[in-house]
Chain A
Amino acid sequence: MSAQEELVKQSASDMAAQLRSGQVSSRELVQAHLDVIEAAEPSIDAFLQVSADQALEQADAFDQHLAHEGAEGLPELAGVPIAIKDMIVTKGIPTTAASKILEGWVPPYDATVIKKLKAAGMPILGKTNLDEFAQGSSTEHSAFKTTHNPWDTERVPGGSGGGSASAVGAFEAPLALGTDTGGSIRQPGSLTGTVGVKPTYGGVSRFGAIAMASSLDQIGPVSRSVLDAALLQEVIGGYDRRDSTSIPKPVPPLAQAARQGQNRDLKGLKVGLVKELGGEGYQPGVEARFNEAVSLLESMGAEVVQVSCPHFPYALAAYYIIMPSEVSSNLARYDGMRYGLRVMPPEGVPQTAANMMAATREAGFGDEVKRRIILGIYALSAGYYDAWYGSAQKVRTLVIRDFEKAFEQADVLVSPTSPTTAFRFGEKMDDPLAMYLNDVATIPANLAGTPAMSIPAGLSDDGLPVGFQFFAPQMRDEVMYRPAAALEAALEEQWGGPISKKLSTPWLDGLAQDSTK
């Protein structure tokens, strides 16, 4: 194994420790990842933009800071590079939401999370691929490229955040940010053997996250370990006065909870198995890994109980009313007037603003986005509003109550993250409903605003990763980090290291032996 390969295969927290001890510089870390990106992209295609120059500049600035002023006051991950889902605006780096309609747009401002990463001295490697406007579960709906799953490059990485998940899974980045509206961080995490967290709604500022469905969207960490996710959430979390839905409370002690979990003592913890999230539609290999993981939790002292969330079966239907309704309004602004794509009406058609808007939206949006806009407009229309949007909001309230009741019986809830492992390209593109069912287990947390995370639970019979999902009560994100870290430690002991050890990485073979080039 080359020195560079060794370097990039570490966890982010180990990289951070090496930075502090002077064994490696931020520039070396960034350069190593840029090299991996160059080597891996032909196979993986996770990135829409690589911001090499900016990343190296940021790394140099951090290295200078560390040399002169030390690491005092900086978060633990300071100096460690990160990739950003192209749904989050980055000043000076083109941001597209993987849509033709935003092609070429260079934001004049940074999202709050980007400001926080910059303040933490974390260099930004680039922008990762996604389904257009985060709408999809396979990243196949990107207008620009198809991202491949590192475990089988003939298969999807999940979505919408397939780019961030594959980048982290393929060692192109130690960390990434995603956005999760119905599972867009967790489901790709599940399909690529990475860790994906959707924090409590309002726990991380949405300012600068391009809106898909505002009441459901949440930015969160993508990583290869539970502790890394906790450390990253601590960097990006917290109150932001520029987001009215931001919760004015400090971030809970997440890394502390994760470190505590690594002791693998879960005595006194009550784990609730959600009855409705399993059984029919779940791949046998997924259920097998899930059940084994539950036994491991029990072996560490957790008490396992079954809980019922009777309204979860309606969550998917409610989601597909509320989400497109908000999409139809949030995506109205892409009209060719102010930024991004502008398409003039064809000759012979009056060259009016209205016709220009129509031509721009016709040319600029893909089919899945148009499908959801049309659904949303219908659901909000006069005469249909109460039956569709109104009823969906009632279901949402019932899902929230289901969670509240379940958390009276258990400290954390668990389920498989995705009913299946990664599927082949094109397999579900002609069947939107089959595609939507990928998110059946992840959507309830978005509807309720509760935190949830997916961690690798092993490989299914098909050799592909399976995700294990934890849910915690609102604003109690730390509650899920402890058992997640415990389960991760127990599983890694069985595997003899992180799940990524089982991953073959031919794209890393050609890397230079000398990491200091």
Chain B
Amino acid sequence: MAEKLMKYADAVAKYDPVFGLEVHVELCTNTKLFCPAHIEFGGEPNTQLTPVSLGLPGSLPVVNKTAIDYAVKLGLALHCKVNEWSQFARKNYFYPDMPRDYQISQYDKPLNGEGYLDVELDDGSIFRVPIERAHVEDDAGKNTHVGGADGRIEGADHSLVDYNRAGVPLVEIVTKPIEGAGARTPEVAGAYVRAIRDIVRALGISHARMEQGNMRADVNVSLHTGPDAPLGTRSETKNVNTFKGIEKTLTYEIRRQAALLESGGEVLQETRHWDESTQTTAGGRVKTDANDYRYFPDPDLVMVHVTKDHIEELKAQMPEMPRERRARLKKEWDFTDRQMQDAVNADAVDLIEDTVKAGATAAGARKWWLGEISREANARGVSLQELPISAQDVADVEQLIADGKLNDKLAKQTVSGVLAGEGKPAEVVKKHGYQVVSDDGALDAAVDQALKDNPDIVAKLKGGNMKPMGAIIGAVMRATKGQADAKAVSKIVMERIAKS
């Protein structure tokens, strides 16, 4: 059931998108929001439970103070008005993954009120995203549908519920309707969510790993014909959990709604979901009056009181914010926008900073962390920080290169050895006997042999065609087991050619 789409450029030329994001951030507290159950990603199903997180009869929630502190810090970073008194409320609805069949959230008295976040776009311009609130709530468990296609509930023959995630603290950051982004709507959305990711990481309050569901967004968008025209009906796309997905959802929805409006159709107020496999959004349930959450203050919990003094204490603990820090480091390191963005996306800024502190150049540090080491992290499906290589190790390798003791190839092998758990760089070098062949006699002999074996290439080189040089270098490398310095080989070859 392919839906009609308008070309994006036409859609944003004709219609003005108004959008909103509800970003859910899982806080990385040791224990859950309302009970001392330990939190750990990927644990055996239904092992991280207490009577409270399972909603057993008689159990009562008690607020985790650390979660409140974390949420206040996030509120401060988002320039929110932090409310001294806030209140938890029950959001009532039945769902198998909710142990109490109500979520404990905040309603009319959120912890963090209005604020804003300035986000930097690709061209360096700043867009101010207005924030309505950032409130605290607990997460639900996780349903796994078995027997159907793609793990979806349709066609499944049974479902499993894991309550480990039930009760994990979340902050839901709700924007006001965001206007004026026009054609840049997806870009603004992506930049905003990345900025939040960077902030929560800088604050150390969330792992913010999209792939583990630490961050997810509900994306709302509607179209109208201009800033003064009445707002159109909005669609809400739930639980989009990649940055690209958020951007693509907006692009798709703008195109879909524009085509609908253009053909005289009507946008339904409905909940949709982003389908990564088809790169489309699909309709879900139509929002009706039946969807009444019957919010009321949770009588099990007294109001949350964060004193002015405590807010000041937390303020004093705030680190430099990512955008400011990034601007400073980008300048110090002399990175391009792209390079800096890559470092941020790979969560390598801290590692590069530490590597530079340990004596490496910024360019050298970047090359390793975003090259070899990132590839290894991706292959293993872990973060850079989880790999058995430190900033000091990388700086040591760089030092060995600078000292002429390793060439690029040997340096890579050394890093591979460290990653394989063979020890510190010096130990790996020693173990494998890595050293650049700088003994001219041995090198001369290897080059001579290579030239002798490849008369056709020698002819080309003599004729001024330098392209086959690589083949000679390759042969020399093979002969020296990779310990030759490519530059030195090249130099000797040129000398031989010139002489002959």
Footprint of B on A, CB under 8 Å? 88-89, 95, 97, 102, 105, 107-109, 111, 206-211, 213-215, 241-245, 325-326, 328-329, 332-333, 335, 337-339, 353-354, 357, 377, 380-382, 385, 389
B159 to chain A, nearest CB (A): 7
Contact A107 B300 (CB under 8 A): no
Q: Which residues of A contact B474 (CB under 8 A)?
A: none
Nearest A residue (CB) for B296: A380
What are the nearest 5 A-B pairs in CB distance?
A: A332-B101, A215-B299, A380-B294, A214-B299, A208-B58
Cβ of B309 < 8 Å from any Cβ of A?
A: no
Distance between Cα atoms of A105 and B289 in the complex (Å): 36
User: Which residue in B60, B159, B294, B302 is a CB contact (below 8 Å) of A377?
Assistant: B294
Q: Which residues of A contact B59 (CB under 8 A)?
A: 109, 207-208
Footprint of A on B, CB under 8 Å? 51, 54-63, 90, 92, 94, 96, 99-102, 159, 161, 289, 292, 294-296, 299-302
User: Which residue in B57, B294, B296 is a CB contact (below 8 Å) of A89?
Assistant: B57
B219 to chain A, nearest CB (A): 24
Nearest B residue (CB) for A336: B96
Q: Which residues of A contact B96 (CB under 8 A)?
A: 335, 337, 353
Task: Contacts A97-B57, A244-B300, A244-B301 given; indicate if A329 touches B94 (C-beta within 8 A).
Answer: no
Q: Which residues of A contact B301 (CB under 8 A)?
A: 244-245
Nearest B residue (CB) for A243: B60
A372 to chain B, nearest CB (A): 14
18 further A-B pairs in the complex, CB-CB below 8 A; given A111-B58, A244-B61, A380-B294: A89-B56, A95-B57, A97-B57, A102-B57, A105-B57, A109-B59, A207-B60, A208-B58, A210-B58, A244-B60, A244-B300, A244-B301, A245-B300, A329-B294, A332-B101, A333-B57, A335-B94, A353-B96
Nearest A residue (CB) for B35: A242
Contact A206 B57 (CB under 8 A): no
Instruction: Report which residue of B51, B299, B301 has the largest number of chain A beta carbons within 10 angstroms of its beta carbon.
Output: B299
User: Which residue in A206, A244, A329 is a CB contact (below 8 Å) of B102?
Assistant: A329
| A–B complex contacts, Cβ < 8 Å, 21 sampled | A107-B58, A108-B56, A207-B60, A209-B58, A214-B299, A241-B62, A242-B60, A244-B301, A245-B299, A328-B92, A329-B90, A329-B296, A332-B101, A333-B55, A337-B161, A339-B57, A353-B96, A354-B94, A382-B289, A385-B294, A385-B296
Q: Which residues of B contact A339 (CB under 8 A)?
A: 56-57
User: Which residue in A210, A329, A338, A353 is a CB contact (below 8 Å) of B54?
Assistant: A338
User: Which residue in B61, B100, B289, B296 is a CB contact (below 8 Å) of A333?
Assistant: B100
Contact A244 B94 (CB under 8 A): no
A59 to chain B, nearest CB (A): 25
B51 to chain A, nearest CB (A): 5
Q: Which residues of A contact B56 (CB under 8 A)?
A: 89, 107-109, 338-339
Contact B58 A332 (CB under 8 A): no
Instruction: Report which residue of B161, B292, B295 has the largest number of chain A beta carbons within 10 angstroms of its beta carbon.
Output: B292
Q: Which residues of B contact A335 (CB under 8 A)?
A: 94, 96, 101
Task: Contacts A215-B299, A245-B302, A325-B296 given; indicate if A333 touches B99 (C-beta within 8 A).
Answer: yes
Contact A353 B159 (CB under 8 A): yes
Instruction: Report which residue of B54, B55, B57, B296 has the largest number of chain A beta carbons within 10 angstroms of its beta carbon.
Output: B57
Contact B60 A338 (CB under 8 A): no
Distance between Cα atoms of A151 and B61 in the complex (Å): 41
Contact A214 B99 (CB under 8 A): no
Nearest A residue (CB) for B61: A244
Q: Is the interface of B mostly helix, strand, loop or mixed?
A: loop
Distance between Cα atoms of A272 and B292 in the complex (Å): 45
User: Which residue in A206, A242, A382 is a CB contact (below 8 Å) of B292?
Assistant: A382
Q: Which residues of B contact A210 (CB under 8 A)?
A: 57-58
Nearest B residue (CB) for A108: B51
Nearest A residue (CB) for B36: A242
Nearest A residue (CB) for B63: A244
Q: Which residues of B contact A214 (CB under 8 A)?
A: 299-300
Q: Which residues of B contact A353 (CB under 8 A)?
A: 96, 159
B467 to chain A, nearest CB (A): 67
Q: Which residues of B contact A211 (CB under 8 A)?
A: 57-58, 60, 300
Q: Which residues of A contact B289 (CB under 8 A)?
A: 382
Task: Contacts A325-B296, A326-B299 given; indicate if A206 touches B92 (C-beta within 8 A).
Answer: no
User: Which residue in B57, B90, B292, B299 is a CB contact (below 8 Å) of A381?
Assistant: B292
Q: Which residues of B contact A89 (CB under 8 A)?
A: 56-58
Q: Which residues of A contact B302 (CB under 8 A)?
A: 244-245
Task: Contacts A109-B56, A206-B60, A329-B102 given; indicate if A380 touches B299 (C-beta within 8 A).
Answer: no
Q: Which residues of B contact A207 (CB under 8 A)?
A: 58-60
Q: Which residues of B contact A332 (CB under 8 A)?
A: 92, 94, 100-102
Nearest B residue (CB) for A215: B299
Distance between Cα atoms of A88 and B57 in the complex (Å): 9
Nearest B residue (CB) for A109: B51
Distance between Cα atoms of A326 and B102 in the complex (Å): 12
Q: Which residues of A contact B161 (CB under 8 A)?
A: 337
Q: Which residues of B contact A325 (CB under 8 A)?
A: 296
Distance between Cα atoms of A211 and B100 in the complex (Å): 12
Distance between Cα atoms of A225 and B62 in the complex (Å): 35
Distance between Cα atoms of A230 and B433 in the complex (Å): 83
Contact B58 A88 (CB under 8 A): yes
Q: Which residues of A contact B300 (CB under 8 A)?
A: 211, 214, 244-245
Contact B92 A333 (CB under 8 A): no
B162 to chain A, nearest CB (A): 12
Distance between Cα atoms of A208 and B59 in the complex (Å): 6
Q: Which residues of B contact A241 (CB under 8 A)?
A: 62
Nearest B residue (CB) for A208: B58
Nearest B residue (CB) for A207: B60
Distance between Cα atoms of A210 and B58 in the complex (Å): 4
Distance between Cα atoms of A111 and B60 in the complex (Å): 10
Distance between Cα atoms of A326 and B301 in the complex (Å): 13
Instruction: Report which residue of A207, A210, A337 has the largest number of chain B beta carbons within 10 angstroms of its beta carbon.
Output: A337
Contact A389 B60 (CB under 8 A): no
Nearest A residue (CB) for B304: A244
Nearest B residue (CB) for A337: B96
Q: Which residues of A contact B99 (CB under 8 A)?
A: 333, 338
Task: Contacts A107-B56, A333-B55, A338-B54 given; indicate if A242 touches B62 (C-beta within 8 A).
Answer: yes
Q: Which residues of B contact A389 (CB under 8 A)?
A: 296
Nearest B residue (CB) for A88: B58
Distance between Cα atoms of A314 and B295 in the complex (Å): 24
A485 to chain B, nearest CB (A): 32
Q: Which residues of A contact B295 (CB under 8 A)?
A: 380
Distance between Cα atoms of A156 and B61 in the complex (Å): 36
Distance between Cα atoms of A275 and B299 in the complex (Å): 31
Distance between Cα atoms of A209 and B51 in the complex (Å): 13
A127 to chain B, nearest CB (A): 13
Distance between Cα atoms of A215 and B100 in the complex (Å): 17
Nearest B residue (CB) for A96: B57
Instruction: Report which residue of B51, B58, B96, B289 has the largest number of chain A beta carbons within 10 angstroms of its beta carbon.
Output: B58
Q: Which residues of B contact A107 (CB under 8 A)?
A: 56-58
Nearest B residue (CB) for A335: B101
Distance between Cα atoms of A207 and B61 in the complex (Å): 9
Distance between Cα atoms of A487 and B447 in the complex (Å): 115
User: Which residue in A206, A209, A338, A385 is a CB contact (below 8 Å) of B55?
Assistant: A338
Distance between Cα atoms of A233 and B95 in the complex (Å): 39
Contact B94 A381 (CB under 8 A): no
Q: Which residues of A contact B92 (CB under 8 A)?
A: 328-329, 332, 380
Q: Which residues of A contact B296 (CB under 8 A)?
A: 325, 329, 380, 385, 389
Instruction: Report which residue of B60, B102, B295 has the largest number of chain A beta carbons within 10 angstroms of its beta carbon.
Output: B60
